[in-house]
Chains A and B, each alone.
Chain A
């Protein structure tokens, strides 16, 4: 029971921790420049002070970080870790489902993401349908229960998807599809994807109106029966009312423009375009709509619609005024987003700070949590990653990760724990082998009775 959560228990033991001072580090604040030899005072889970010199309370735990680099905890705007299911792909609009219902706080990918300096992630529904399920923004508070992992107060989101994935389950002829010979699901074309979104929002507007009418009747003192609550349409009404962020999976320029037009027509905003590999072609239009873009540095060609991609995509969109982030969409890629950010310096000439912004303050802004995280500033959450070298170097390693001022990952501790885990595992394996050698009690006797 314990070993799997040792790191968590370790973190929990820091709960009543005194103030922490991280000293003598190179501090990459992202928004306030870089301090070559600075210190950070953490109190009550928040960054209390940042500067060349900070107050060192007498009860403070001092962490000497000479020669180390401190950056804000990395934020991944597109992840699928920590969930027991990802796609409700049976229907074209699955807005009734949500990741929060299936958050798995014991997914080892959380701990591994921590080891890559990630402290916050946007956990998205998959891209099997035009309108997918609700998303959850979480912090990697390894060892806590699901509820305590949720980024409290973060604006809720929803997944949309365009192109090949949502139309793959369809068949233009209406016949059954695939090796499994399953019934086709509408839509089968990009036109159909647009239609599904339009139809859903038309329905949502009618639903919104039904509730308005009901509330007016009640206000007038009339007796009325409330409309049936519809879990599929409620999130779409929230999108219309600006209370839920749309994160739309897309690749091609034409469908990006389609979605922006549909959103404009129905009066809602696309908060982020995800993947958006052809974003460089329509960066101006994306910026005009006010959408953010969350892309890969150099991951493409895994399907036809992902071929016309270039490594300059992120940099071009930045230069055109789009709010850009780099995401992982992968439990593995998630562990080295700092490397991904570095590539934008080579391809597109972003500055160090611009590059690091793509995995810190920019995704924070996209998720509207930049008042809490994304940079090292007094008043923000103490979500910090300490690297042994500059995080934009391939050779850097994460040494410590703090979330809310609590230590959730410590490389030295991890290394020290490995033999303990191995011993525990061997003990259990031996015990099980021993039990299997013994005959089952009663098994041989039974027929005699």
Chain B
């Protein structure tokens, strides 16, 4: 205990000792929001970007970093993540589902029911629902994945409680800090929904995809009714029975947007219609088949979060089993999704899907570049577009005066495999990332892709 406090004190002292004013001098600056500055200065003060430009003076009190041969980018933002939440359970099925379609077969995890451990008998029991849980309350600077995420170039993650149908409210968090509270930029990034089902007929409601959809629909209807009931009660408290407090509905009502999983074009179509029916501000995520869904997203004027974990052939699968044509096409064309979305004017962000090694991340990004995405669009999709989609572009996503001082400084182009990440700045604090493999036994974790294999029921 005592040792811990001393360690904390030391850490605090280190942070306290970090310079509050830093100048990156004579570097190539890619602001994303504007034109490239071939040779310029970026001044950071008190965690914010104080100035940026070719002719900006270096303040007398600044700690100067010589930027010759270096490139300064805005820090990358992982648009859908569990970074920062320790012990976020592995929610990713290993190696994708049958035929390499990214499967989401997460363990149902702890069943959160009003009835304890009994199977849910219907929507009223609020199965797999922890909508009131806030990532902002779960993040810890001690999460060991934060360091590897910074080594990839991420300075911010939009991080979500990982488990459940209504898993909980996400937060925009910076990937550094002394205390959890230092990390949180925004505490209401949206409600994260996954389409998990209970196993078999005895596991409780819902055990089918249509059950999950019906459940989500009922919860949103209930939330609207709850809102009206509270409003009615507040206007006529005397003589009216008060509505029962429902934390599940409180959590839903507090969420400014909802994230829904979409693998195939048919999911995109289905969920955009669902969002329209329920008047939801929806963000679809996953999108390996986004390359043939751009028209739908465009028509609905809907933004999308595209997972960089492209579908792959199942490892060690039966060599005699040949995948059907549509699965082969999916694997071949999934990385062209970002290019297709860009071409069709659909706003999108890329997210790591739990990829936690820089080489793997760059490789995944490069596959989308090879499939036609411009490097500028790729960078934007991991910086400013993410900030815009989550409504935080006034503080994150580009190198502009007044924004949070989150930067990545590289020797070479960010998306080149051999490029070294020299420094990462989070809230103006400098880190020199070391990419370390995770110790044995610790599993890299990530946000799952959307539903892949869907169990089919019997008939007759």
Contacts and interface: CB of A to CB of B under 8 A. Distances in A.
Partners in one complex: yes
B269 A185 contact: no
Contacts of B401: none
B225 A102 contact: no
Interface string B15-51: 0000000000000000000000000000000000000
Interface stretch (B61-69, B82-90, B357-365): B357-365
Interface string B361-405: 011001000000000000000000000000000000000000000
A257 B214 CA distance: 32
A421 interface: yes
A441 B201 CA distance: 46
Given A127-B459, A178-B202, A90 B211 contact: yes
A215 B241 CA distance: 20
Interface in B186-217: 198-211, 213-215, 217
Given A80-B459, A85-B454, A185-B201, A442 B363 contact: yes
B292 A428 contact: no
Contacts of A212: none
Contacts of B218: 96, 230-231
Interface string B292-323: 10001000000000000000010000000010
Nearest to B437: A447
A302 B366 CA distance: 55
B139 interface: no
Interface of B: 118-123, 198-211, 213-215, 217-218, 221-222, 225, 228-229, 232, 236, 264-266, 269-270, 273-274, 291-292, 296, 313, 322, 325-326, 328-329, 331-333, 357, 359, 362-363, 366, 417-418, 420, 435, 454-460
B456 A85 contact: yes
Contact of A102 (B199, B209, B325, B333): B209
A225 interface: yes
Contacts of B200: 180, 182
Contact of B211 (A97, A104, A445): A97
Contact of A87 (B214, B326, B329, B457): B457
A126 interface: yes
Contacts of A88: 205-208, 210-211, 214
Contact of B210 (A4, A99, A302): A99
A370 to B, nearest CB: 26
A425 B333 CA distance: 13
A226 B366 CA distance: 55
Q: Which among B205, B215, B232 has the highest number of chain A CB atoms within 10 Å?
A: B205
B219 to A, nearest CB: 10
A97 B332 contact: no
Given A183-B119, A232-B122, A429 B328 contact: yes
A300 to B, nearest CB: 11
Contacts of B201: 87, 89-90, 128, 169, 182, 185
Interface in A215-238: 223, 225-226, 228-232
Given A106-B264, A180-B200, A329 B208 contact: no
A84 B296 CA distance: 20
B48 to A, nearest CB: 32
A171 to B, nearest CB: 10
Interface in A197-219: none
User: Which 6 pairs of residues, A with B, have the shortest CB-CB distance?
Assistant: A182-B202, A87-B457, A86-B457, A85-B208, A88-B211, A428-B328
Contacts of B222: 228
Contacts of B208: 85-89, 97, 102
A164 to B, nearest CB: 10
Contact of B363 (A1, A126, A440): A440
Contacts of A229: 221, 225
Given A226-B225, A229-B225, 13 more contacts: A1-B291, A86-B459, A90-B211, A91-B122, A96-B218, A105-B266, A126-B457, A146-B269, A178-B202, A231-B221, A431-B332, A440-B363, A445-B417
Contacts of A223: 232, 236
Interface in A74-95: 80, 83-91, 94
Contacts of A182: 200-203
Contacts of A1: 291-292, 329, 333
Nearest to A440: B363
A432 B332 contact: yes
